[in-house]
Amino acid sequence: MSKNIAILGSTGSIGQNTLRVIDSLNSVGGERYEVLALTGHSNVELLASQVLKYKPKVAAITRVDLVDKLSELVGDSDVEILGGGGSLETVAQLDSVDTVVTAVVGAAGLGAVLAAAKKGKRLAIANKEPLVIAGELLMKAAKENGAEILPVDSEHSAIFQSLASGSLSEVEKIILTTSGGPFREKSLDEMADVTLEEALAHPTWEMGPKITIDSATMMNKALEVIEARWLFETEVSKIEVLVHPESIVHSLVEFVDGSVIAQLGTPDMCLPIQYALSYPRRVKGISHRLQLDELGKLTFAKPNVEVFRSLELGFEVARTGGTSAAVFNAANEQAVAEFLEGNIKFIDIVELIEDCLSRHSVKREVCLAELLEADSWARETVKETIKSKK
């Protein structure tokens, strides 16, 4: 038995961890995991070295200007090279692939995730933004075409694992945990002048830059509320957020009888990645083992929604639906990119998102084209607002 895997975004944090997990799974024996396709965007050297090591059938680089460089670096190896944004969709639909790991960052992964769902693939979803933007369309496409959706995001993997203890109709609450990020204890005034370096220093998780900033603003948790709403087809009123700075309890489900089931582990993405790949089996893993006696205690608190406005906005958007989540996500992607480039302050990020949402007239019952239009509108609106303030 073997699983044939495509990794969209293999050069990123989740992508590289996925390859580590595959190495480990193959060393354990049993089911074989074949890497059939890899994709990268700008890190052509890393993509080339992955191609030389894993010998996939297809390698795609979404930045077309780097296609020649990739061909040069992989030499005469027997790999088909694709280029451009559309190549993600081609890879996601390859007949020889059964499992697609979506580890691209942002809305750029949307077309490919939808394409994989329409082809009935098994999807290991890390790339949460497409679920936020088009969760309804994605879940519908998956259902209609027999695609299996397995969450990689640690909280959603924890919920997925906890849900095995009961049925969806028996769920009273879904409780997403958050470390609170590096600024958990700061006031808004104290956050006014935080630097990029401080915002990139996450206390418990090592991740790519965009999600690390999202964790500092708590936009990550806001996006995850919307992600959970679609993945588990839950009413928004059943979702709660709990601050848990140690990042050991990855999330919890409370059932109607009062039982609370949680999944625990060290903060290491290899664990949820592996579970999505080996599901429904469990196989020896590479993550450090949890030593609860060494930790001594675990702490929990309510989030400070007055300081972290993003959380309230996330719940509001989750309830509103329609085009609002596409605007919420795109405004955040644009604002984070501007912050990473040093064009705005940290506290401007959420202000820009809130401003953008307040100017948007929400459309309901929408198709993909309308969601993409809302996405473009939000990005332009954020850019214009920044320009007008300079």
Which residues of the chain form contacts with ligand NDP (CB under 6 A)? 9, 11-15, 40-43, 62, 103-105, 108, 126-129, 153, 205, 207-208, 210-211, 269
CB of 125 to ligand NDP, least distance (A): 9
Residue 52 neighbours by CB under 8 Å, 6+ apart: 74, 77
Strands (E), the chain: 2-8, 32-40, 58-61, 80-83, 99-102, 122-125, 148-151, 171-178, 239-243, 249-255, 260-264
Structure tokens at 207: 């991740």
Phi and psi for 230 in degrees, rounded to 5?
Answer: -85, -45
* Contact string 145-184 vs Mg ion (x = CB under 5 A): --------xxx-----------------------------
Q: Which is nearer to Mg ion, 83 or 151 (CB)?
A: 151
Phi and psi for 39 in degrees, rounded to 5?
Answer: -135, 145
Say how many residues touch Mg ion, by CB under 5 A: 3
C-alpha of 256 from chain center: 29
Q: Which is nearer to Mg ion, 207 or 366 (CB)?
A: 207
Cα distances (Å, whole numbers) of residue 112 to 6, 103, 118, 224, 355: 11, 11, 10, 20, 30
Q: Give the helix ranges, DSSP H, for 41-167.
A: 44-54, 67-74, 87-92, 110-118, 128-145, 154-162
| Residue 97 binds which entry of ligand NDP, Mg ion, none, CB below 5-8 Å type-dependent | none
Q: Which is nearer to ligand NDP, 10 or 254 (CB)?
A: 10
Q: Which is nearer to ligand NDP, 111 or 120 (CB)?
A: 111
CB burial of 9-34 (b: ≥16 within 10 Å; e: otherwise) equals bbbbbbbbbbbebbebbeeeeeeebb
CB of 127 to ligand NDP, least distance (A): 4
| Residue 314 binds which entry of Mg ion, ligand NDP, none, CB below 5-8 Å type-dependent | none
Q: Give the helix ranges, DSSP H, for 321-367.
A: 324-340, 348-359
Q: Nearest-CA neighbor of 114 among 159, 83, 145, 85?
A: 145
CB of 88 to ligand NDP, least distance (A): 6
CB burial of 120-147 (b: ≥16 within 10 Å; e: otherwise) equals ebbbbbbbbbbbbbbbbbbbebbeeeeb
Q: Which is nearer to ligand NDP, 254 or 336 (CB)?
A: 336
Separation of first and last alpha carbons in the chain: 60
CB of 84 to ligand NDP, least distance (A): 10
CB of 43 to ligand NDP, least distance (A): 3
| Residue 268 binds which entry of Mg ion, ligand NDP, none, CB below 5-8 Å type-dependent | none
| Residue 42 binds which entry of ligand NDP, Mg ion, none, CB below 5-8 Å type-dependent | ligand NDP
CB of 353 to ligand NDP, least distance (A): 16
| DSSP assignment letter at 166 | S
| Residue 15 binds which entry of ligand NDP, Mg ion, none, CB below 5-8 Å type-dependent | ligand NDP
Q: Which is nearer to ligand NDP, 66 or 350 (CB)?
A: 66
Cα distances (Å, whole numbers) of residue 138 to 130, 279, 283, 326, 335: 8, 21, 29, 13, 25
| Helix, strand or coil, per DSSP, at residue 60 | strand
- Does position 268 interact with Mg ion (CB under 5 A)? The reply is no
Q: Which is nearer to ligand NDP, 136 or 214 (CB)?
A: 214
Q: Which is nearer to ligand NDP, 202 or 254 (CB)?
A: 202
| Residue 103 binds which entry of ligand NDP, Mg ion, none, CB below 5-8 Å type-dependent | ligand NDP
CB of 306 to ligand NDP, least distance (A): 25
The contact set with Mg ion (CB under 5 A) reads: 153-155
